[in-house]
Structure 1
Amino acid sequence: MQKVELVIGVIIIVAVGVSTHRDRDFDVTESMVEYLQLYQTNYEAKVKKCEDMLADFRQGFAKELSGIDLQKDLLKSRVQDAWSQLKPFEFIDSWHRQCVRNYSSVIPSTYQAGASMTECLMTANTYFNGIESSAKHICSSIKSQATHTFGNHKRSCQIGHRKSQADYNNCIKKSISSLDMDISRLWSSFHKHLDEADFSAKTRIRMAWVCAFNTLYTTSNNLGSSMRLINDCIAGQRSCGIMSCTSRCANQMRLDIRERDFKSLTIKNPFHGGNKHMGCMELRFK
C-alpha cells in the first residue's frame, strides 16, 4: 500500500513539473511574428518613401534656383570688368576722372551686384522652410506611428494576454487595424500637403527668377548706359553736365541761350570770329 501511494505521489510531482515547464515555455507572440513583420515592413517602406520624396523635393527646389547663382557670378564678372576699365581713367587726367564720376554712380560695386542676386535667393529659401513644414511634420508622424506606436501595441497585447493565444491574436489584429487606418490617413494627407508645397515652391521659384532678371536687366542697362556716357564724355561728345570739368579743349565759349532759342531754326553764330585753325571749340550754356 505504501509503495502504491509513493508511485502516485511521484507521478503527481512529475505531472506538475511538466505542466509548470510548459507554462513557462508558452509564448503567445510566436504565431503572429510573420503577420507583424509584414505590417512592419510595409510601414518602414512608407517612412522611407516619404523621406525620399521630401529629399527629392528639396533637391528639386535647389536645382531650380541654382541657375541664379550662375547668373550672379556672370553679373559680378561683368561689373568687375567694367570697374577694371574705369578705374585707370581716374589716373589719366581730371577730364577723365570727372567723366567717370559724373556717370558711374548707378554702376554697383561687385559686392552690391552679388548681394542683390543673393537676396533673391535668400527670400525664396526663407519661404521654402515654411512651404515644406506641413509635409515634413506628417512624415515625422508616420515614422512615429510606424515605430513607437507599433511597438507599444505589440507590448500591450503581449502583457495583457500572455495566457491566451486567441485573446492575444485578437488584440494584435484590432490594434494593427486601427494603426493601419491612422497611417493610411496620414499617408494621404502627406501627399496632399506635398502637392500644395510643390505648387507654392514653383510660385516662389518664379518670383526668385523674376527678381533675378529684374536685377540683371537694371544692372546691365545701367552698366551699358553709363559706359556709353563716360566714353562719350571722354571723347568730348557730351559735356560734363552741371558739374565742373577741366576741358581738353582750350577754346571755350559760354552761350546765353534761352528755352525759346531751342525752338528756333536760327541762333546767333557761336563760331563768328573763329577760324579753322582753332582745332576745337567747347560750348557751354549759361
Structure 2
Amino acid sequence: MQSFLGVALVLALLSLVASQATNSSQSMDLYILQNQRQYDAKIKQLADELANFKQLFQKQLTAIDVQADSMQLKLEQASAHLDPIILIDSWSKQCVQNYSATIPTITVARDSIIKCKESISGILNAPESTYNTLNNYYKNNVKNGLAQCLKLHPTAQLNYTLCVTKVIGDANKYTITTQNTFYTNLKSSECTADNRIRSSWLCSFGQVYSITTKVEQTQQLIDSCISNKLICGGFERQECPNKSSVTLAQIDPRNDTILNPFKSVTNDMNCLEFRIRR
C-alpha cells in the first residue's frame, strides 16, 4: 500500500512539473511574441515618420508648380493680346516683332521656374541609416539571440528564461538609444529641408518677377511704338490732295511777320500740305 502511494505521489509531482514547464514555455512564447509585435510597431512608426517627412517636403514645393501654372496663364494672355495686333497693319506688326522676342516661351518660362525646386536627395541619409540599423538589429541580432537561447537551453527552462529576457532587455535598451539617434538625425534633416525649400522659393519668386517684368515692359514698349504712329505718322501715310507752298523768303526768321499761308483753307478741307520753295 505504501509503495502504491509512493508511486502515485511521484507521478503527481512529475505531472505538476510537466504542467508548470508547459505553462512556463507558453508564457515565454507569449512574452517573445508581444515584444516582437512592439518591434514591428516601432519599425512602422519610424517608417511612417520618414514617409511623412518626404510627403511634407514635396507638399511645400507645390507652390512652385502653382507659380509655373500662373505664369503660363499670364504668357497665354499676353499672346492673346499681341497676336491680333499683328493683323492691324504693318506698323503694328513691326512694333510687335521689334519687342516681343524678349518674352520667353511658355516652355522656357515653366522650366526656369520648375528647375528652382530642389531635390530631397541626401537629406534623409542619416535617419534612414538609423532606421535600417534598428530594423536589421531586430531581424538579425534578436532573431539569432533567441535561437541561440533555445539551442543552448532546450530543457533547462530557467536558464532559457534568463537567456531570453537578456536578449529582449538588450533589444529594448538598443531600441531606446537608436530611436533617440533617429529623431536627432531627423531634426537635423528638417533644418536642411527648410533651407532647401527657402532657396527654392526665393529662386522661383526671382524667376516670376523677372518674366513678369519682361512681359509688362514689352507690352508697354509695343503700346508706345503703336502710339508713335498716331503722333508721327505711319509708313502708309495717305496723300493729302490740298497743297500749298511757301518760299524760304516768306519764312525768313529775321522777319517778324509772314503772309498768311492759310488763306486758301475752306470748310470742306480736312488737310493741307505745305511745300517749301526756294
TM-score by length of 2: 0.73
Question: Which residue of 2 is the match for residue 132 of structure 1?
Answer: 124
1:93 corresponds to which letter in structure 2? D
Q: CA deviation at 1:28?
A: 7.4
Task: Provide the rounded CA distance (Å) in 2 between the counterparts of 1:159 and 1:176.
Answer: 16
CA deviation vs aligned residue, 1:100-158 (integer Å, no higher than 9, x gap): 1221122111111111111012xx1x2x1210122122222222223343222221211
Q: Which runs of 5+ in 1 are unaligned?
A: 1-10, 240-245, 252-273, 280-286
Output the CA distance in 2 between the equivalents of 1:74 and 1:113: 11
What does residue 213 of structure 1 align with?
205
SS in structure 1 opposite 2:122? helix
Distance (Å, rounded) in 1 between the aligned partners of 2:26 and 2:54? 43
Q: Output one character per residue of 1:159-205: Cα deviation in whole Å (capped at 9) or x when no partner.
A: 12102112211211222222222222211111011101111111111
After the TM superposition, which residues 27-46 of structure 1 pair with which residues of structure 2 at under 5 Å, given as runs? 29-46=25-42
Counterpart residue number, 1:167: 159
Which stretch of structure 1 is more off in the superposition, 162-171 or 226-235?
162-171
Counterpart selection for 1:247 from 229, 235, 246: 235
Structure 2 CA distance for partners of 1:159 and 1:29, relative to 1, 3 Å = farther
**What secondary structure, in the 3-state scheme, does the structure 1 residue paired with 2:207 have?**
helix
Q: Distance in 2 between matches of 1:112 and 1:278?
A: 52
Q: Which residue of 1 aligns with 2:254?
A: none
Going from structure 1 to structure 2, the CA distance change for 1:148 and 1:28 (only over 3 Å counts) comes to farther
* 1:47 alignment partner in structure 2: 43
Aligned mates of 2:216, 2:229 — CA distance in 1 = 17
AA aligned to 2:115 is E
Flag the 1:185–1:249 CA change in 2: closer, same or farther, 3 A: farther
Q: Does 1:181 align with 2:181?
A: no
Contact 2:91 2:229 in 1 (8 A): no
Q: For the structure 1 residues 64 and 238, does the alpha-carbon distance in structure 2 shift closer, same or farther, using more than 3 Å as the test?
A: farther
1:108 aligned onto 2:104 = yes
Letter in 2 for 1:134: A
Per the alignment, residue 242 of structure 1 pairs with none
Deviations 1:188-225 (A, max 9, x none): 11101110111111111111111111011011111101
Give the alignment partner of residue 147 of structure 2, picking from 136, 139, 155: 155
Between the aligned partners of 2:124 and 2:177, the Cα distance in structure 1 is 19
Question: 1-side partners of 2:212 and 2:176: how far apart?
Answer: 53
Matched residue type, 2:89:
D
What percentage of aligned pairs have identical amino acids? 28
Question: Cα gap change, 1:152/1:232 in structure 2, threshold over 3 Å: closer, same or farther?
Answer: same
The equivalent of 1:6 in structure 2 is: none
What RMSD in Å do the two structures reach over aligned CA positions? 3.2
Q: Name the CA shift for 1:37/1:102 in 2 (closer, same or farther; >3 Å).
A: same
Aligned residues: 230
Using the TM superposition, give the Cα deviation of residue 249 of structure 1 relative to its aligned residue in structure 2, in angstroms. Answer: 4.5
Contact 2:116-2:203 within 8 A present in 1 as well = yes
- Are 1:58 and 2:54 counterparts? yes
SS of the residue aligned with 1:130? Answer: coil
Report SS of the residue matched to 2:40: helix
**Equivalent-residue separation in structure 1 for 2:143 and 2:230 (angstroms):** 83
Equivalent in the alignment of 2:182? 190
Is the contact between residue 60 and residue 197 of structure 2 (CA under 8 Å) also seen in structure 1? Answer: yes
CA distance in 2, matches of 1:82, 1:107: 9
Structure-1 separation of matches of 2:236 and 2:61: 50
How far apart are the structure 2 equivalents of 1:200 and 1:278? 75
Q: CA deviation at 1:74?
A: 0.8
